[in-house]
Each structure stands twice: as structure tokens, then as C-alpha cells.
Amino acid sequence: MLVIPAQARPVGLGHSPRQILTPTSALGFGTAGVALWVETTPQPGVRVVIPFQQVAAVGTEHILLSARLTIRSTAARLTARYNAVADDQLRPLMLDLRRRTAVCAAELPTASDLGMELPYKCRRLLEGHTPRLYDGEPVAGRLPVPRRTEPAHAVVALTVGKLVVLTDPVHSAALTVGDLLGVDAHHIPRAGIETVRVAGASLRVLSRRVNLELPLGADLATGVVEAFAGYLPVALAD
């Protein structure tokens, strides 16, 4: 379990005086699912419960010490904001969650275009623990260096159980120096993926009836669909 203390965070951009007070909450990870308890008034209690078999995607967003966890299912969405200092406590819980949701043992491409032409940050993410459930787990990827016109650098990796997308944060209209120190991670269980398609400048993944829009840029999104056409249920672009 991870207890998240009450905190105040600013609203909007710049030096806005407006703030949102987030009450104390607790993330609970069990043998069958994950739940969020919130200390709201007048009645604190469990607000969201998501069984593991219903998880459509697990996303984390980091920019310096600001972090957000999002778990999506067909019927619910769990969101928790927390200080990234808690990552050491949360990491084993998240690893267990990802292992329990990646129940599929699907094939991987025999050839991969994993190259060393990537930016240093992307290469380190690919070589690290983020896309893997176990040390030495094989990974196939679609990893071109994006042009300056692309919205962000990205690493798209395929494992036997998951489709993993790692990108620079793309929450704001323009990336800042601080944003480049962060990373968004999307873990999508292959067993739940219904379709993967290109939608404009995004990769659209339908997982357990949940639509996920991943802004990778048209070139990388197209490359993912082409590279994994025999291993994921891809569809023609919109």
C-alpha cells in the first residue's frame, strides 16, 4: 500500500494563485486488483476498484518531482498524483501490477530495428528496467530518431506481454527544459489489445474497449503499425 499525503498543487500555467487541495489518499494493491481510498468529507472511503483482468492500460507521468499514476479499465479510471520521492516505495507494487496484467505470452519479431542512433535518454530508457518485467526480458522496438517537427522523442517497445510506449511529456503545448527531464510511460497488456491504428499524428490503441491516444507523430505511429503488423491487431489509418 502507498499512502499519499494531502497536498496543494497550482492550477494552470505561470504564477497563478489558484490551487487545488488534494486530500490524503491510499493506493492498495492486492492479489486480485488495485483500489484507491480517499479521505474526503463527510464520508471517506474507497473510490475506485479495478480488477487486474480488466486493466486496459497503466500510465505514469514524471516531470522532476511531480508524478501521476493512471490505471484505466473498461468501467473505471484510477488517477493518483504523488511526489516522485515515493517511487522507490511504489516501484515494486507497480512491477507486481504489470506482471499480473501481462498474462499473454505472444510472439515477438525475430528481427528488430533496435539501434544506437537514438538520443541518449531514449537509449537509456530502452536498456533499463522500465519496459521489462524481468531482467533480460527480450524487447523488440520501433525506434527512429524523430525530426524536430515531431511532438516528442519516443521509444515504442514490444515484449511478450505488453506494448510499451515511452515518450517525453506532452501535456503542455510546448516542451520546456524541465519537461525534457521527465518521461511518460504507457504499459498496455497485449492480451487486451483489440486494434492498433494510425490516427493523424497519433497512435490509437483500443484496449478492452478503452481508446488510448498516444501522440507519437505520424511517422513513428506509421512505423509502429508496419513493424508490428504480424504481432498486433493493426488496422488501416483513419
Q: Model confidence over 196-222: pLDDT tens digits? A: 999 988 899 999 999 999 988 888 888
Range from 55-64, 100-109, 217-226 carrying the lowest mean pLDDT: 100-109
pLDDT of residue 173: 47
Residue among 101, 63, 104, 57 nearest 84 (CA)? 63
Rounded average pLDDT over 87-97: 91
For residue 118, pLDDT over 70 is answered with no
Peptide bond before 42: cis, by omega within 30 degrees of 0? yes
C-alpha cell, 185: 510511460
By mean pLDDT, which of 68-82, 94-108, 112-126, 162-176 is the weakest?
Answer: 112-126
Question: Is the pLDDT score of 178 beyond 50?
Answer: no
Q: What is the pTM of this model?
A: 0.84
Q: Flag whether pLDDT at 130 surpasses 70.
A: yes
Res 37: pLDDT: 95
- The whole-angstrom separation of Cα 57 and Cα 98 is 10
Q: Which residue has the cell 515504442?
A: 156
CA angle 143, 151, 63 (to 5 degrees): 90
The total of other beta-carbon atoms located within 10 Å of residue 1's CB is 11
Q: Return the C-alpha cell found at 209.
A: 474497449
What is the spatial distance between Cα 120 and Cα 106, in angstroms, rounded to a whole number?
Answer: 29
Contacts of residue 219, Cβ cutoff 8 Å, sequence gap at least 6? 144, 146, 147, 150
Single-letter residue type at 183: V
Give the model's pLDDT for residue 66: 84
Element (H, E) at 169: none
- CATH class label, 2-101: mainly beta
Residues 227, 220, 206, 52, CA torsion sign: positive
- Name the pLDDT band for 57 (thresholds 50, 70, 90): very high
Which bin fits 50, alpha (ψ -120 to 50), beta or left (φ > 0)?
A: beta
Which three cell numbers, joined as nine digits, stand for 141? 522496438
Give the neighbor-by-neighbor strand order of the sheet with 45-51.
Answer: 2-4, 25-29, 33-38, 45-51
Question: Within the chain, which residue ranges are assigned CATH 2.30.29?
Answer: 2-101
Contact 105, 160 (CB under 8 A): yes
Strand order in the sheet with 154-158: 77-83, 66-73, 55-63, 183-189, 162-167, 154-158, 140-142
